[in-house]
Structure 1
């Protein structure tokens, strides 16, 4: 037996020491070197305020099916589009009208190939439930001023908020815009307009049918004729700066029959066909 062979050489000692240090360092750093996907932020969806209840349910359904979470942010489409223009970290945008999606498209802030028309809606007239009674809405026969008296009518800001733009188009078509405009409560979103009526701070309100369904304090007293305002269309698209790896999958889920059944429950309709 070689007596010296029983003892490690200086070179072997150094190699063993280095190997042990590498293993220890690897154990310490393992959490930091976890796959990037594990630490990836869930996609952030910025969506029109009128979608709040339905989209929250769709997101929960998606999480149950896939285990993946989705972040949601709601406001008027106009406000969200401006935030995205200022580089808000959104991955998906859902607008309540085509104009604000076009606004982002013209600035190259969405991925054009991902854009689609997702849903439709209807415009209705509401009143606080304790004083609600039906009213006729026809061209030449819409006694809205008589019904309002000294009170006011709430809807979205007509110059920017989609529901307000639809409302202005309908009131103009029906020949009462000039008379009603001074009595408007110009809300920052459709949900704000809904709240004004629900609290009794406005006698009437113009909102989407889907919003009226989720507030027990209001009642629909009439629906606006479909030909009195432009078709209500909710377009959806991924943003140009979005980086969440799950955004494409969630967008596909939004378009699925399973998701539409949830939207339908809240009163949304299939997206109307566009002309041209």
Structure 2
């Protein structure tokens, strides 16, 4: 009887372990601008690898602070190097796993039907939205570009700061502002809007998206990070309006 009981207990423990492993999910904390990429990649990864991927999207600064506070993220994808550096300095990511998975461009968008023009003409004509330069990467890139062009002091009074680029897009979509400074990839995901101006690449630092495991990471998390860097993942990145990693010099 004792042997039977031990056998049943052992079998039960194996079953619980298998169920726990099967239920393990990959949780991706990603910059808001990566929403469409991560959702599509997660759907394809589920088909090819059978693992579930959940996600949380916000400004990179918000996500980094949440991870620092102990939020259960498996992978962090930042919209700039600074917030990834922030977590690396606090020894919260796996440094060997860190890699750039995409690049981007910075554009001014307006309602469709408008004409292309110079940045000063668009932004000087009325209110425009942009990420908050104090903590949102898109906002930092935008302010740097406007300073480089020598027009920040002229247009700053018209700026409406948003918590992330998707919120900035919503403002222009709803007609609450005349334009928004966003990533080219955000325009690719938006309807009813058009590119009115593209900032020269020389006007701001390269827009790079580093990704890394939070902590050492599970096998599933490592597999998803590898998937994003694979040909299949990079094809999704290109289709969503981003620049593949191989084309940004990384």
Same fold by TM-score, threshold 0.5 exceeded?
yes
Match of 1:187 in 2: 162
Unaligned residue ranges in structure 2 (runs of 5+): none
Offset of residue 243 of structure 1: 4.8
Is the 2:128–2:178 contact (alpha carbons within 8 Å) kept by the matching residues of 1? Answer: yes
Is the 1:155–1:187 contact (alpha carbons within 8 Å) kept by the matching residues of 2? Answer: yes
Separation in 2, partners of 1:133, 1:191? 23
Offset of residue 143 of structure 1: 2.2
Is 1:199 aligned to 2:174, yes or no?
yes
Match of 1:143 in 2: 121
Is 1:54 aligned to 2:37, yes or no?
yes
Separation in 2, partners of 1:128, 1:253? 35
Offset of residue 221 of structure 1: 0.9
Separation in 2, partners of 1:162, 1:190? 9
Is 1:172 aligned to 2:150, yes or no?
no
RMSD: 1.9
Number of equivalent positions: 246
Offset of residue 31 of structure 1: 5.0
Match of 2:235 in 1: 261
| TM-score between both structures, scaled by the size of structure 2 | 0.92
For residue 97 of structure 1, the aligned residue among 73, 77, 80 is 80
Match of 2:211 in 1: 236
| Deviation readout 1:187-238 (Å, 9 max, x if unpaired) | 0011011111111111010000110111113211111111111110000100
Separation in 2, partners of 1:213, 1:245? 32
Separation in 2, partners of 1:71, 1:203? 35
After the TM superposition, which segments of 4 or more aligned residues of structure 1 sit over 3 Å from their partners?
Answer: 17-20, 29-33, 242-245
